[in-house]
Amino acid sequence: MTPSPCIVAGNWKMNKTVAEAKSWLARFLESYQPSPRVEVQVYPSFTALHTMALLASDRSIRVGGQNIHDEERGAYTGEISAVQLREAGAEVVLIGHSERRLHAGETDAMLARKLTAAIHAGLQPVLCVGENREDRQAQRHEDVVGLQIERGLAGWEPSAGIPLIIAYEPVWAIGTGMTATPQDAGAMHAHIRRRLEKLPVHIPEVRILYGGSVTPDNVAELFATPGIDGVLVGGASLDALGFLEIVRAAQRLR
């Protein structure tokens, strides 16, 4: 069996107009050589998603959404459903990014419903988990992340047929320049795998990404760490050439 490719994903958050997204893509594609060992994903804002999906999908780049609502349709002003996102060209979707947990009050129960909605629409979910600084200082990071996994995956349907991706992003590492050490990230990834094994459902083929201040300078040591199946990059993905450097490092090391 061919091993699943590792993932280099760029989460643009609330950045880039459609024009800026197009020019990012043009710069990236000038030098990007796809490799079957590394899957590239980009998460633009909703406004640029359709354009990006049209321009990028035949160049081996998977485009994803940063959020969905858990209902398929209805009176939810300002929201976007999984079905709408899929139809706009998204193949993957972030569920429960810590910024949504923090700013939009998303709870694990909501995320479990979103995960189900994603799967029903044929979108591959990326469940985001991670502890905050206080949790880490109090040494309860493994419990916090373990509960996020357990509750977020409460509705997982074994028949889904869509492989799951988990992104471990410690909140204290996001946008701070303080990357988790490869040892800490690797230990948490191992903990997540142990926790997955204890779930009542068997979820095959889970890939676990690390996110939090990933840059071209620190990506090599992360890729050298067992159990890290890829990276979810925020700030450093906004620059096409910086992101390309990260992709190339992954291609060299995997």
Q: How far apart are CA 141 and CA 168, in angstroms?
A: 11
**Nearest residue (CB) to ligand 13P, 62 versus 97:** 97
Q: Does 216 bind ligand 13P (CB under 6 A)?
A: no
DSSP character at residue 165: E
Minimum CB distance to ligand 13P, residue 158 (Å) = 28
Q: How far apart are CA 99 and CA 169, in angstroms?
A: 11
| Residue 8 identity (one-letter amino acid) | V
Q: What totals of helices (H) and strands (E) does the chain contain, helices first?
A: 10, 8
Q: Does 41 bind ligand 13P (CB under 6 A)?
A: no
The partner residues of 38 in beta bridges, in order of sequence, read: 6, 35
Q: Does 214 bind ligand 13P (CB under 6 A)?
A: yes
Q: Does 246 bind ligand 13P (CB under 6 A)?
A: no
Is 232 in contact with 167 (CB distance < 8 Å)?
Answer: yes
Q: Does 211 bind ligand 13P (CB under 6 A)?
A: yes
Phi and psi at 163, nearest 5°, equal -65, 145
Q: Among residue numbers 92 through 131, which ones bind ligand 13P (CB under 6 A)?
A: 97
The interface region with ligand 13P, picked from 16-24, 34-42, 200-208, 226-234 by CB under 6 A, is: 226-234
**Nearest residue (CB) to ligand 13P, 41 versus 213:** 213
The single residue of 39, 69, 97, 189 carrying the catalytic annotation is 97
| Residue 193 identity (one-letter amino acid) | R
Q: How far apart are CA 123 and CA 117, in angstroms?
A: 9
Active site residue 97: yes
Active site residue 157: no
Active site residues: 97, 169
Residues near ligand 13P (CB under 6 A) are 11, 97, 169, 174-175, 211-214, 232-236
